[in-house]
Amino acid sequence: MSEPVAMHMSDGLLNAPTSLLFVAVAVAGVGVALVKARGDLDDRTAPMAGLVAAFVFATQMLNFPVLPGVSGHLLGGALAAILVGPWVGALCVTIVLVVQSLFFADGGVTALGANVTNMALVGTAVGYLTAVALRRLAVRNKGGLAAVAFVSALVNTVLAAFGFVLEYAIGGQGGVAFGTVAAAVLGVHVLIGIGEGLITAVTVTAVAAARPDLVHLLRGVPQKLELRA
């Protein structure tokens, strides 16, 4: 049977000091996001944030094959950041991870801090920064927006995977050599990132075609008819 290899770290993979360290990092990061998100939330964006969280939750429960015996799923950081901004996006992914860990045993409770750090904080941040760096391409037409969404999601996935590798280097106790873990995790997540990029590109362009005003990345940009093409 295929086993998902997509960032959800299980209990016991990291030692206690490392787990506690990244709980602190996650709490600090989510705390900053809570403060900053107040400026982005209003009557229009709050319902959108709920929809994004629900979509990420649903798609994370579905796995797609990337190699024989290996499957992946959407991380959602870049998708959330492009649609509702980095701060609200980080909160959306955090909520998803907490619910999955506590109620669906998807990701260990002791590893929750590391999972939030990788997917909700690192993934969302690098996905958003990549999208902003390529924003001129995104506002040209539908194809440009799709390309930016794809690249942002791919970078989000690989950098989040690198966060996992770094945490394992600090305090991993999985009984596998660091070099083996790094090569396997980063290699597989490049492939997972391609799948994530495709899902993100399709979703973002669909939202932009219907309601470009709801796409955070396109705020302040005169909307072009090409986005509906």
* pLDDT tens-place string over residues 45-86: 889 999 999 999 988 877 666 555 455 678 899 999 999 999
Percent of the chain scored above 90 by pLDDT?
55
73 Cβ partners below 8 Å, 6+ apart?
A: 4, 6, 59, 60, 61, 62, 63, 64, 192
DSSP string, 10-66: PTTSB-HHHHHHHHHHHHHHHHHHHHHHTTT-STTHHHHHHHHHHHHHHHHTS-EEE
Q: What is the pLDDT of residues 182-218, one digit of tens each?
A: 888 888 888 889 989 999 999 999 999 999 988 999 9
Note the pLDDT of residue 136. 92
Question: What mean pLDDT is predicted for residues 136-150?
Answer: 94
* CA distance linking residue 12 with residue 33, whole number of Å: 28
**Residues sharing a CB contact under 8 Å with residue 55, sequence separation 6 or more, in sequence order:** 76, 79, 203
Give me the mean pLDDT over the 114-141 stretch: 94
